Structure formats: structure tokens, C-alpha cells
Amino acid sequence: MKVYICADIEGVAGVVTPQQCQAGNPEYERARVLMTEEVNAAIAGARDAGAEEILVNDAHGPMTNLLPDRLDREAVVIQGKPKRFGMFAGLTAGFDMIFGVGFHAPASGFGVLAHTTSTAAFRSVRVGDALLSEASLYGAYAGELGVPVGMVSGDDACAAHVATVFPEAERVVVKTGLGNRAAAALHPEVAREMIRAGAARALARRAEIRPLALPTSETLTLDFVGAAQADLVATIPVARRLDATRVALPIASAADAVGWVNVASAMAASLR
């Protein structure tokens, strides 16, 4: 069996502030250790259930957060950016399951450090009327490849969101949000034990866990934090301006949606 692990940081036990998620802060150096160890727990769970091949993708910010020499030596890790298909770069139809570690709730809702791709760019990301999270955006892309998301760890708001998108997936709650930047968290070792068990359970239940099918032959609507960001993204020839902060882009697949979200995020970052 082949398992793909997408690693983010906002949903890791013990992480509650933006400073913990950004290089250059002493708190970040500790948070990336916590992140790396939660990924190790997911790798251990995958191996407990019989996985032979494990690919980890470092998926937060500059995508160079995981400490390679501290990662389980059985896994291969992708780091750095830009990379095609961002958070799910390197995923192919040959994988049996995806685990999301350190995940978080979507922008414009409750949840510890809730955002979608970039806090500085998007107020919300929608396909049709559906509010997308990173989990559902990328989960839908994985669904097009026929690969299910089997386990997601993060806070309680992330779990509540995941329950609506992938009801069959294992949800591991490592902290309960008291706000956007406050949470009651499990001890990191307890969180890791739960992630390891959740990962193994997901693989054992793989026959029941289906790939996500999201109707994506609609319009992708990006609501930007600033009107200048919308001005810039509206210069894409196929873009349609909806109002001061919203731009619509045509998509024929979730893969298209992933591509546009990453292009628009990078463009918006140039106006920070």
C-alpha cells in the first residue's frame, strides 16, 4: 500500500498563534518540531496497518517546515515551492489513501487559525455555492485521481467541517478552539498516539472510504481581503469581476480550481 501525507501546521497540537506558523520566530522553531512529530505519528500508523510506501508533502507556507533529519527514515519528503498542485504535489492515482495532518477549518468561519490557502489573500473560496476549505479543494482534486482522504487531524472546527465533506474519513481532534488564536490542546504525545491510531484505523477501513466527488464543472469564486488584489486577479483574460472584492474564474475540474487558487494566491501576495 502507498500512502500520501499532506502536512500543514495550523492544526497541530500546541499551535495557536500566527507567529508559531512563520519562520523567523523562536516559537516557530518549536512548532515545526511538533509538526514533524505529528507527521511521524501518521507514518507510524500507516506502517502499523501495512503501508510499504509513504510520501510526505510539506504543505505550509514556504513548504520547508519539516525537519528532514527528524522525520521517520522510511518516508520520502517533498519540500519547497512553487510546485504544481501545491499541497498535493506528487500525488498520483497509484496511491491508496491520503492523510491530512495539522489541518484547519476554512476561511470565514470559526476555527483555530482558520483560513483557505492564504489569510492575506482570501476571505473565502467557493465553487458554485459551496464554501471550500483546503481539505475539500485538494480532496476533490485527489478524488479526480481516485484517491480518498482517509484521515484528517486538526482542531474541533476542522473535524466538524471534514465531517460534512468526507463523512467516512477518520477525524482526529487534537485541540478544541476557544477562538481563532486560542485553544485547549491535548499533550503532544497524546495527540500523536491518537493520530497514529486514527491513521491505522483509516487504512484498515479503506474499503469503506470513498474518494470525494465534488461538482466542479462550475465557477470558482474568489473573495479577496483587498479590492486591489481583486483588481490584479481580474486582469487574467478569462476572469470575470463580480464586485469590489470578488472575481470568478471558469473551471472544468478540481485540478483547475487548485491551479487558479494557487495562481491567485501568488498574485495577491505581490500586493501585500
Q: Where on the chain is the footprint of Zn ion (CB under 5 A)?
A: 8, 10, 60
CB of 79 to Zn ion, least distance (A): 14
How far apart are alpha carbons 35 and 29 in whole angstroms? Answer: 10
Instruction: Count Cβ atoms below 10 Å from residue 118 Cβ, excluding itself.
Output: 21
DSSP type of residue 105 = P
CB of 224 to Zn ion, least distance (A): 19
Q: Which is nearer to Zn ion, 51 or 162 (CB)?
A: 162
The answer to whether 88 and 143 are in contact (CB under 8 A) is no
CB of 10 to Zn ion, least distance (A): 5
Q: Which residue is nearest to Zn ion (CB)?
A: 60
Written as one string, the DSSP assignment of 205-261 is: TGGG-PPP----SSEEEEEESSHHHHHHHTTSTT-EE-SSSEEEEE-SSHHHHHHHH
CB of 28 to Zn ion, least distance (A): 12
CB of 193 to Zn ion, least distance (A): 23
- How do 122-127 and 130-131 pair as beta strands? antiparallel
Q: Which is nearer to Zn ion, 31 or 44 (CB)?
A: 31
Q: Which is nearer to Zn ion, 100 or 259 (CB)?
A: 100
Q: Which is nearer to Zn ion, 18 or 211 (CB)?
A: 18
Q: Which is nearer to Zn ion, 9 or 222 (CB)?
A: 9
Instruction: Count Cβ atoms below 10 Å from residue 2 Cβ, excluding itself.
Output: 15
